[in-house]
Amino acid sequence: MTEETTGKSRRAFLKGAALTGVSLAAGQASAATPDPLITEVQPWASGLGDGVDETPYGLPIQYEGDVVRRNVEWLTADTISSINFTPIHALDGTITPQGCAFERHHSGAIDLKKEDYRLMINGMVDRPLVFTYADLERFPRENHVYFCECAANTGMEWAGAQLNGAQFTHGMIHNMEYTGVPLRTLLEEAGYDTAGKWVYVEGADASSNGRSIPMEKALDDVLVAFKANGEALRKEHGYPVRLVVPGWEGNMWVKWIRRIEVSDAPVESREETSKYTDTLEDGTSRKWTWEMDAKSVVTSPSPQSPITHGKGPLVISGLAWSGRGAITRVDVSKDGGKTWETARLAKPGEKMALSRFYLDTNWDGEEMMLQSRAMDETGYVQPTKAQLREVRGLNSIYHNNCIQTWLVRSNGEAENVEVS
């Protein structure tokens, strides 16, 4: 069906609904059955509402109480060193509210006041320096929208369809506007030695979560950030200061960043040897796989966001992203990858940021095998799970960017399946 035909049929459907008095939201009611929500005065229209000081810091309304982060209890031994998931199935647009952006902790979220915050730069520098929070605020700052994705996002799906919901399969991700000082600026202030090819970064929490970053990346786009979406970082996201490493795995975005050491070699810490490396079919492991490859997922319809309105106009929506640059195109398949339609990007893709895509279509009530396939500005095309397995086998956990499949049944409900 062409876009023009789809548009005409949608207009005809909506026009017909209006003429017959059909309620698209409720899927019922007719002109002969007046809707009391229209014909009768409701309580909210016959009294006064809350005053301006009812909630000094605005919170979501109670009717949206299910739009929250969730964890999978059996995934880790406890919640201190664990993860929860962004409710991507319930969001639209691309910016993730801080209050429902996923958390990943290695030793729990710590309480650290701005007044007690210190950031040290040492190692191969002319002048070892220690910055307070107030010091950082005096440097020229920048604003950038970036996604942060845990390397283990979709990791449970390597062996087959495991978790039933976009929140659980793809929710280790957020996309926020970060404000901070380029790391390059602070390294220049300390007089870094050009012979230093790496920086080692660590956090102030008990785990420290130390990671080595190539100097080339450190001087490129890494931010020392102290705001997200215009306000202070949340405690669980590294308040008061965290590192932002655009396009690279979330484990490198060290929270409560306390030390940056310039060195001539990587440290080879726990987090970059026994962890966050990719075990291949032959038992060897590849490391330094920092960049997050192009990836996408249909967020609606999906297991947590079924079709409830029956046949007719349907908006298929989802997210796409790439750590190598901007998303340029997303295709959607309704038949498990046999045929594809190009989706509409809500706006041109931005480097290392989420893109929202839509496919406006008409659903005939038949089963669908929904998939999405992302492409980025480098020409990279998101692979199938079979293509990934051909290269990496079944032993991996990290960097699973395979095409996801939702089976949408005739009743509108969806489930996670694997196409073989």
pLDDT the model gives residue 305: 98
Mean pLDDT of 57-77: 94
Per-residue pLDDT tens over the stretch 340-349: 999 999 999 9
**Count of Cβ atoms closer than 10 Å to residue 275 Cβ:** 15
pLDDT the model gives residue 394: 87
List, in sequence order, every beta strand (DSSP E) within 24-84.
none
Per-residue pLDDT tens over the stretch 370-420: 999 999 999 999 999 999 999 998 888 899 999 999 999 999 999 999 987
pTM score, whole prediction: 0.92
Q: Which two tokens stand for residue 179?
A: 């404000």
1 pLDDT exceeds 80?
A: no
Q: b vs e for 308-333, b when ≥16 Cβ sit within 10 Å of the residue's Cβ?
A: eeeebbbebbbbbbbbbbbbbbbbbb
Mean pLDDT of 211-227: 98
pLDDT the model gives residue 21: 38
Strand-pair category, 223-228 with 231-232:
antiparallel
Mean pLDDT of 287-291: 94
12 pLDDT exceeds 50?
A: yes
Residues 286/277, Cβ–Cβ less than 8 Å? yes
Per-residue pLDDT tens over the stretch 135-162: 999 999 999 999 999 999 999 998 889 9
Per-residue pLDDT tens over the stretch 84-110: 999 999 999 999 999 999 999 999 999
Mean pLDDT of 227-236: 98
Q: Of the candidates 187, 200, 198, which has an alpha carbon nearest to the alpha carbon of residue 252?
A: 200
Selected from 3.60.20.10, 3.40.50.300, 3.90.420.10, 3.30.420.10, the CATH number assigned to the domain covering 70-284 reads 3.90.420.10
Question: Virtual CA dihedral for 150, 268, 247, 317, nearest 10 degrees?
Answer: -20
57 pLDDT exceeds 60?
A: yes
- Binning pLDDT at 50, 70 and 90, where does residue 3 land? very low
**Count of Cβ atoms closer than 10 Å to residue 344 Cβ:** 12
pLDDT the model gives residue 10: 52
Greater pLDDT, 188 or 280: 188
14 pLDDT exceeds 70?
A: no
**In the chain, where are the structural domains located?**
70-284, 295-417
Mean pLDDT of 222-233: 98
Contacting residues for 255 by C-beta, under 8 A, at least 6 apart: 203, 205, 209, 237, 238, 242, 243
pLDDT the model gives residue 9: 53
Selected from 2.60.40.650, 1.20.1250.20, 3.40.50.880, 2.30.180.10, the CATH number assigned to the domain covering 295-417 reads 2.60.40.650
25 pLDDT exceeds 70?
A: no
pLDDT the model gives residue 23: 44
pLDDT the model gives residue 334: 98
